[in-house]
Amino acid sequence: MKSLPERTDVLVVGAGPAGATTSLFLEQKGIDHLVIDQSEFPRDKICGDALSGKVIDVLARLDPRLVNEMEALTGEFLSCYGITFVAPNGTDLSIPFRTKVADRLTAAGFISPRLDFDAFLVSKIHPERLRTSCKLISLSKPGAIASAPGTGSIASAPGAGPASTTAGEHQVTVEYQGEQRTIRARYVVGCEGERSLVAKEWAGYVKDKNHYCAALRAYYTGVTGCHADNYIELHFLKDILPGYLWIFPMSNGRFNVGIGMASHRIAQRKVNLKAAFEKAIREIPALRERFAQAQPLTPLQGWGLPLGSKRFPLSGEGFLLVGDSGSLIDPFTGEGIGNAMKAGYHAAEHLALSLQNGRRDAAWMRSYDQRVYRDLGGELQIGKTLQKLTNYPRLFDFVVGKAARNRELRNLISSMFDDISLRNRLRNPFFYLRLLLSRD
Ligand SMILES: Cc1cc2nc3c(=O)[nH]c(=O)nc-3n(C[C@H](O)[C@H](O)[C@H](O)COP(=O)(O)OP(=O)(O)OC[C@H]3O[C@@H](n4cnc5c(N)ncnc54)[C@H](O)[C@@H]3O)c2cc1C
C-alpha cells in the first residue's frame, strides 16, 4: 500500500473523467498534485457509455496516440457513426455524424462501458499521484483556512491530531487504509460527481429538481434492428418528456439501454421510471418487436444527472468544481463525459496560472467559471432550448418529420454535431418559421 502525502499543491478528489483529465493536464504542466478516489478501478458508473467527439478531441489534445490506443481496444470500444432520433409520434430521423473524421481517421464517437473507459483514463495517471480506496470525508470550513504563516487555525478533524498550517491552504480529512488522515492542499478540485461534498460544503450546491434528471440503465443482449453503423438511438416517448429512452449498441453483442426524465416532471406526474421503461418495451410495437428476444444482463439501476441548464458556481477560495460536481451535463442529450473532460482541461490551465501568480482568492478563481462557460455555455444553452422544445411534442414531431423528409435539413443537423455556430440556429424562432414554409 502506498503512503499518503500530508501535503500537495493541488488535491483532485475523484478519478472519473473529470478528475483523471484534470490530473493528466496537470501532469503535462509538471504541477504537483494528488488524485484520490474512494473506489478501486476498474469500477462501474451508471451511464449510457456514449463518448462523443468532444472526448476524442480532449484525448487528442493530451496526446493523439491516446485516441489510437483507445481504438485499438476493440473488445471494449465500439465505433459509432451516427444518431437516430425517434419523435413522440414514432417518426425516426437518422443522422450520420459529419465530424472531421477524414483527417483524423477515427470514428466520431464511441460506446464503451465506463468500467473500461474510466480504467483506461486512470491507467494514464502517474501512479505516484494516485491513491484509490481513499475517501474524502470532511473539509475544513472555508473560514478555518489559514490566512498568514503561523496565524492560521484550521480546526482539526476528529482523531486527526493537531495540524501544522501554512498560509492559504485547505485541510481535508480522508479515510485511507482504515484510518482518518489529513491532507493539506493549496487548491482542491472537486471531481466527485453528482454527490460532491466539495460542491455542497464550499459552493453551497443544493440539488434543484428543475435542473436535474433521473435515469435508469441496464445492459442487455439480443436487441434487434439496430443500424449497421452502430447509431445510438434516442426515443422521445410522449409519457417521459422531457426525457428519452435510449438504445446504444456495444461491443460483444451487448446493448446499453435506459430511460431518463427531468426530475421536476417525474415529481409533477408521479412517474415510475422503471414501470415506464417496462411498459415501453412491452407495448410500443416497434420496441416490442426489437426486445422480443432480448435478455437483461443487469437490473435497471439508477443515478442522477445534474444539468447545466442553470449556471451553478464552479469555484471559490482555493477550489474548483469539474464535471458533474459543477452540473455541466447537456440538458438535452445527457452528455456529461466530454464536458467533464473539457472542464478538466480548463481547470489545469487555470491552476497553472494560479500557481504562477500565487492567487487563490474567490474573485480570481471565478475566471475559471468564465473560461468554462465561454467554452460550454453556448452549447448548454442550446441544450436547454432543445429540452424545452420537447415540452411541445407536436412541434418536436414536426421538426423531426420535416428533417426526415428534407435532405438539406438532415445535412444541416448532421453538420451541427461539429459546428456550434450552426447549432445556434436552433435557438432562433425564424429557423422554425423557415422550416414551416420550406418544401419537403
Ligand atoms: C444513466 C446515465 C446515463 C448517462 N449517459 C451518458 C452518456 O451516454 N454519455 C455521456 O457523455 N454522459 C452520460 N451521462 C453523464 C455522465 O455519466 C457524467 O457526466 C460523468 O460520469 C461525469 O464524470 P465525473 O468525473 O464528473 O463524475 P463521475 O464519473 O461520477 O466520477 C466521480 C468519481 O469520484 C469518486 N468519488 C465520489 N465521492 C468521493 C469521495 N467522497 N472521495 C473520493 N472519491 C469520490 C467516485 O468513486 C468516482 O470515481 C449519463 C449519466 C447517467 C446517470
Q: Is 344 in the pocket of ligand 1 (CB under 6 A)?
A: no
Distance in angstroms (rounded) separating the CA atoms of residues 183 and 312: 27
Residue 156 is predicted with a pLDDT of 33
pLDDT(328) > 70: yes
Query: Distance, CA 79 to ligand 1 centroid (Å)?
Result: 21
- 293 and 194 housed in the same domain: no
Q: With a 6 A CB cut-off, is 217 part of the ligand 1 pocket? A: yes
Examine the fold and report which residue of 274, 306, 338 is the final residue of a domain before the chain moves on: 306
Task: Tell me the pairing of strands 170-176 and 179-190.
Answer: antiparallel
Helices (H), 37-195: 53-62, 64-72, 101-104, 114-122
pLDDT of residue 365: 98
CB atoms within 10 A of CB 383: 23
Q: Is the pLDDT of residue 436 over 70?
A: no
Pocket of ligand 1, candidates 12, 23, 25, 38: which has the most ligand atoms within 8 Å of its Cβ, to mutate?
38
Q: Is the pLDDT of residue 387 over 90?
A: no
380 and 308 Cβ atoms separated by less than 8 Å: yes
Segment 295-301 mean pLDDT: 98
Give the residue, by CA position, lying nearest to ligand 1 atom 8.
Answer: 48
What is the CATH number for 91?
3.30.9.10
Measured between alpha carbons, how far is 440 from 436 in angstroms, rounded to an integer?
Answer: 10
Q: How many domains does one find in the chain?
A: 3
Segment 216-234 shows an average pLDDT of 96
* pLDDT above 70: residue 416: no
Q: Is residue 229 part of a domain?
A: yes
Give the Å distance between the CA of 169 and the centre of ligand 1. Answer: 27
CA distances from 97 to 13, 80, 82, 128 (A): 34, 9, 5, 39
Cβ neighbours of residue 392 closer than 8 Å, sequence gap 6 or more? none
Share of the chain above pLDDT 90, in %: 68
- How many helices (H) and strands (E) the chain has is answered by 15, 19
Dihedral angle sign, alpha carbons of residues 139, 140, 146, 152: negative
- What distance in angstroms lies between residue 1's CA and the mean position of ligand 1's atoms? 26
The values of phi and psi at residue 136, to 5°, are -70, 125
Q: 442487455: which residue's cell?
A: 220
For residue 321, being part of any structural domain is answered with yes
Per-residue pLDDT, averaged over 115-144, amounts to 91
For the ranges 53-57, 177-181, 213-217, 392-396, which has the lowest average pLDDT? 392-396
According to the model, what pLDDT value does residue 406 have?
75
The residue nearest atom 3 of ligand 1, judged by CA position, is 47
* Residue 107 included in any domain: no
Residues 171, 183: Cα–Cα separation, whole Å = 6
- Measured by CA distance, the residue closest to atom 10 of ligand 1 is 335
Give residue-wise pLDDT tens across range 274-291. 999 999 999 999 999 999
Q: What is the mean pLDDT of residues 123-135?
A: 98
HSE on the CB side for 316, CA within 13 Å? 17
pLDDT at 68 (0 to 100): 86
What is the band of 81 on the pLDDT scale with cuts at 50, 70, 90?
confident
Cell of 339: 464536458
280, 306, 332 - which closes a domain: 306
- At 40, which CATH number? 3.50.50.60
Distances (CA, A) of 125 to 51, 98, 164, 367: 20, 32, 29, 26
Q: Are residues 300 and 228 in the same domain?
A: yes
Average pLDDT score over residue span 44-58: 93
Is 113 within a domain?
A: no
What is the pLDDT at residue 161? Answer: 31
Residue 192 CA, ligand 1 centroid: distance in Å: 8
Helix, strand, coil distribution of the chain in percent, nearest 5: 40, 25, 35
Residue 440 banded pLDDT, cuts 50, 70, 90: low
Rounded percentage of the chain residues whose pLDDT exceeds 70: 85
Distance between CA atoms of residues 127 and 272, nearest Å: 43
Q: Does the CB atom of residue 328 touch ligand 1 within 6 A? A: no
Whether residue 130 sits in one domain with residue 197: yes
Co-location of 166 and 258 in the same domain: no
50 and 134 share a domain? yes
The verdict on 348 and 403 lying in the same domain is no
**301 and 313: one domain?**
no
Residue nearest to atom 26 of ligand 1 (CA): 323
Residue 103 pLDDT level (bands cut at 50, 70, 90): low
- The residue among 87 and 164 whose pLDDT is bigger is 87
- Name which residue leads in pLDDT, 267 or 435: 267
- Residue 424 CB-density burial (10 A; 0-12 exposed, 13-18 middle, 19+ buried): middle
Q: Residue 359: pLDDT above 60?
A: yes
Cα-to-centroid distance, 45 and ligand 1 (Å): 6
Same structural domain for residues 318 and 177? yes
Determine which helix (DSSP H) or strand (DSSP E) holds 429, and give its type and residue range.
helix 429-437
Confirm whether 258 is domain-assigned.
yes
Whether 263 is in a domain gets the answer: yes
Residues 160 and 295 in one domain: no
Q: Which domain holds residue 316?
A: 7-64+121-206+309-383
* Residue 176 alpha carbon to ligand 1 centre in Å: 22
Asked if residue 138 lies in contact with residue 275, where contact means CB atoms within 8 angstroms, the answer is no
Q: Is residue 74 part of a domain?
A: no
Answer for the pair 209, 201: CB distance below 8 angstroms, yes or no.
Answer: no
Predicted pLDDT of residue 162: 30
Which of 73-87, 89-103, 230-244, 315-329 shows the highest mean pLDDT? 315-329
Q: Which residues are paired to 134 by β-bridges? A: 176
94 and 215: one domain? yes
How is 391-406 classified by DSSP, letter by letter?
TSHHHHHHHHHHHHH-
Q: Assess whether the C-beta atom of 337 lies below 6 angstroms from ligand 1.
A: yes
Residue 63 contacts by C-beta under 8 Å, 6 or more apart in sequence? none
Partners of 314 in the β-ladder: none
Locate cell 408521479: which residue? Answer: 270
pLDDT band (50, 70, 90) for residue 324: very high
Number of CB atoms found within 10 A of residue 98's CB: 18
265 and 245, same structural domain? Answer: yes
Residue 396's pLDDT is: 80
Residues 227 and 165 in one domain: no
| Domain boundary residue, one of 306, 323, 348 | 306
C-alpha cell at 377: 455555455
| Higher per-residue pLDDT: 294 or 390 | 294
| pLDDT bracket for residue 391 (50, 70, 90) | confident
How many whole angstroms separate alpha carbon 20 and alpha carbon 32? 14
Q: Is residue 126 part of a domain?
A: yes
**Residue 136 Cβ < 6 Å to ligand 1:** yes
